[in-house]
Amino acid sequence: MNLIHVYKSKIKKAFKGISDFTPEQQLIYKNDILKETYRRTLVVIVLVSLIQISNLHVYVADQMHAGYAFLHLYIPIGLFLINLIYLVIFISRRNQIENHYKLYNLVIKSYWFLLMAGSIIFSFVEMKESHTIENFTLYILALGIVPIFGMAEIISLIVIYLAVNIIMIINIGTMQPNTIQLMVVLAVLSFYAAITQYLFTFDVFVEKQNLARTNKKLELLSETDQLTGLFNRRGMEKQLYRLNFGAGDNIDLSMLMIDVDYFKAYNDKYFHAKGDQCLIKIADCLKSNPYFDDDIAVRYGGEEFLIISRNIDDHKIIDHALNIKKAIHDLHIPFGITEDSPYITVSIGLATKRFDNQCASINSFLADLFYQSDKELYNAKNNGRNCVSFGNFFYR
């Protein structure tokens, strides 16, 4: 009973297929399966071509004069020419599968239908002359092992091929009594092999997707500051190198280096748990106040944060920095270290730089931008804090 239950669950899973996948996953899966079937079918084409050459050699060597001798000549020639055409298509267009999925899916399935037609004729000749089903056995097993089609398609091919061969056996009437039973068993084995390999490829794909999701999560964790959810230094570097450097266009980068004023004193007064809550609130504020959607928000270390924006003119980036400073002040995180403000404030060093053909390298460009923004932050902290420093000018 357990074995029957296993088979039922396998068949149910096979017919359900990829219906639970997202459209993107379905597309990836279909392309993967098509590529694998494409490679396997290419091997079959080569093998069938060689078999037809061998059949022609036998015909010429034996000089057949039986009643169906002409079929031993014309069928191998026809199948060889068909295989040659498909071989040229498969080899010359092998790199275009993803761009023409429907076309190549049709090409592969048409080949197996044509191969089935040729196999039926060969089976008829074989049954009439030698009363065997070797050709039927080869095709029915190849059908279950080689192509990876959907369950409905596999069942259709197997049932059609089996039915036609059974009808031929009944009409010929000279086969062994148990031949039909043997053919049915072979068809069932072929169907089981098709289900097994379909589910195997399905499970492999699911595992690959799970692994890809796990790797993506691990990558995100390695690039994210665990306290604030902002990018860490590694994540920042990766985001920066994703910018379109070296594509021929000039890129203006603006860097806001943000430092929480008197944060050490805040930690000493309220302890580290409150300090962490303070940093989280500031990070949430930075995430909710992007100037552009592609702003890069980073926790650079300790109480220092970075905002990196691209292609914004000086006036707008100054306004952006002032808006951030005000938004953090308006969080009203109690502190009272100075008489001017009872709340947490920040100092911001702002620098902008253009990446163009004059820049020696990306690394030197970014190093210079970091140096300038750090220098501006130092100026802001030495000028009473709670301000923005840009080009040796101070904005409050």
pLDDT digits (tens, 9 = 90+) for 110-165: 999 998 998 898 888 888 887 888 889 989 988 888 887 877 888 888 999 999 99
Q: Give start and end residues of each alpha helix (H) in the chain.
A: 2-16, 23-62, 69-92, 101-129, 134-145, 151-172, 179-222, 233-241, 263-287, 314-329, 362-382
Phi, psi (degrees; rounded to nearest 5) at 193: -60, -40
Instruction: Categorize the per-residue pLDDT at 389 as very low, low, confident or very high, splitting at 50, 70 and 90.
Output: very high
pLDDT band for 209, please (50, 70, 90 cuts).
confident
Phi, psi torsion values for 253, nearest 5 degrees: -110, 140
Q: Tens digit of pLDDT for each residue in 228-242? A: 999 998 898 888 877
Q: What pLDDT, on a 0 to 100 scale, did the predictor assign at position 107? A: 87
Q: What is the pLDDT of residues 259-275, one digit of tens each?
A: 999 999 999 988 989 99
- Report the distance separating Cα 54 and Cα 137, nearest Å: 19
How are beta strands 346-355 and 251-260 bridged, if at all? Answer: antiparallel
What's the mean pLDDT in 283-310?
85
Q: Which two tokens stand for residue 189?
A: 């084995």
* pLDDT for res 293: 66
Residue 290 binned pLDDT confidence (cut-offs 50, 70, 90): low
d(CA 229, CA 247): 31
Structural contact between residues 325 and 388, judged by C-beta atoms closer than 8 angstroms:
yes
CA 382 to each of CA 109, 374, 377: distance values in angstroms, whole numbers, following the listed order? 75, 12, 9
- For 339, phi then psi, to 5°, come to -75, -25
CA-based angle 92:94:97, to the nearest 5?
130
What contacts 21, CB < 8 A, 6 or more positions away? 29
Q: Tokens 């500031």 map to which residue?
A: 282
Query: Which single residue is written with the structure tokens 């938004």?
Result: 327
d(CA 289, CA 331): 13
Spatial CA neighbour of 91 closest among 46, 148, 33: 46
Percent of the chain with pLDDT over 90: 31
In this structure, of 65-74, 126-135, 383-392, the range with the lowest mean pLDDT score is 65-74
In sign, the C-alpha dihedral spanning 149, 155, 156, 158 is positive
d(CA 296, CA 238): 11
Domains by residue range for the chain, with CATH: 2-218 (no CATH), 233-395 (3.30.70.270)
pLDDT at 30: 83
- Amino acid making up residue 243: L
Tens digit of each residue's pLDDT (9 = 90 or more) over 5-39: 665 666 666 566 667 777 888 888 888 888 888 88
Amino acid 78: pLDDT: 84
What's the rounded Cα separation, in Å, for the pair 308 and 290?
Answer: 10
Enumerate the β-bridge partners of residue 308.
Answer: 255, 296
Is residue 332 a contact partner of residue 278, using CB atoms and an 8 Å limit?
no
Query: Could you tell me if 344 and 261 are in contact, meaning their C-beta atoms sit under 8 angstroms apart?
Result: yes
